[in-house]
Amino acid sequence: MKGIILAGGAGTRLYPATLACSKQMLPIYDKPMIYYPLSVLMLAGIRDILIISTPRDITGFEELFKDGHQLGLNLQYVVQQKPRGLADAFILGKEFIGNDNVCLILGDNIFYGHDLTKMVQASAQLKTGAELYGFMVPNPKSFGVAVLDPNDPNKLIAIEEKPEVPKSNLAVTGLYFYDNDVVKIAENVKPSARGEIEITSINNEYIRRGKAKINNLGRGFAWLDTGTHKNMLDASHFIEMVQTRTGCYVACLEEIAYRKGYINGTQLLEAAEKQKSTDYGKYLRRIYEENKNLDFGKQGTTRSRNA
């Protein structure tokens, strides 16, 4: 399965902070926002990843991640000239996707939870259809809301966009797994009234085919909003709290790569040395010291925790 991170848009709700840089480059506590969606793809076992961004911002992501070799990944980049809707990701990524299935994650979505790795690894084995992720919210009128089959709590029968009378409080998040049909479906989607190729149109086509399911991120999970300055501050406080109380970092890409066997101990130490003056770099060295006798990279193991 391939992965796509959509990190475009002007970030106007975060002006003036985003007047000169991508929203997804802004920090959520101690690391760029884009680390968090990238970590989800890595935890799912996805190593071929496309980052889509604006003409202004794409070079920043290229400078940050290069070709991904330092994380054991194959990263590619595509420019979205102007916002055309989330479904445009599959048209821009058509050549990258090829004949594979694909996972799309939005560059400003942050997920956290004990069983997240297990869930996304299972979704990455998708054979046919679509798998979405839902999260219970107190204000469903502000979201796309999942309507479920009463006889199957994982089967989607409709998605209502910002309904006045919601049929549930299960909001559809920005994490989507699709089979390869998604490319042709996206190419046939007609622009909405606002002139965008809507992801809802894709989801509704899978629902029409009876091939859409949703995984409910229940209690013990967090789906964090980064749409406003206050939301970003709240997300930063959450990440700081988790890391301080558990001693484990969230979305530490080098740790995930090491535990997955994508990089070896030497590469982990190199990453730690480059950031040795930071708590992040010291954490990487600690991970190496605690696990050097195992050396995940050398063994090629796929053991991982929710880093």
Q: What is the CATH number of domain 2-251?
A: 3.90.550.10
Enumerate the domain spans of the chain: 2-251, 252-307
How many other C-beta atoms lie within 10 A of the C-beta of residue 137? Answer: 18
Fill in the amino acid letter for 48: D
Cα–Cα dist 236/165, whole Å: 32
Reading the block at residue 71, the tokens are 């994380």
Q: Are strands 130-136 and 170-178 parallel, antiparallel or unpaired?
A: antiparallel
CA distance 238 to 224: 9
**pTM (global) more than 0.85:** yes
The tens place of each residue's pLDDT in the chain, 307 residues long, gives 999 999 998 888 999 999 999 999 999 999 999 999 999 999 999 999 999 999 999 999 999 999 999 999 999 999 999 889 999 999 999 999 999 999 999 999 999 998 999 999 999 999 999 999 999 999 999 899 999 999 888 899 999 888 888 889 999 999 999 999 999 999 999 988 888 899 999 999 999 999 999 999 998 999 998 989 999 999 999 999 999 999 999 999 999 999 999 999 999 999 999 999 999 999 999 999 999 887 565 544 434 445 5
Query: For 224, phi and psi rounded to 5 degrees?
Result: -105, 135
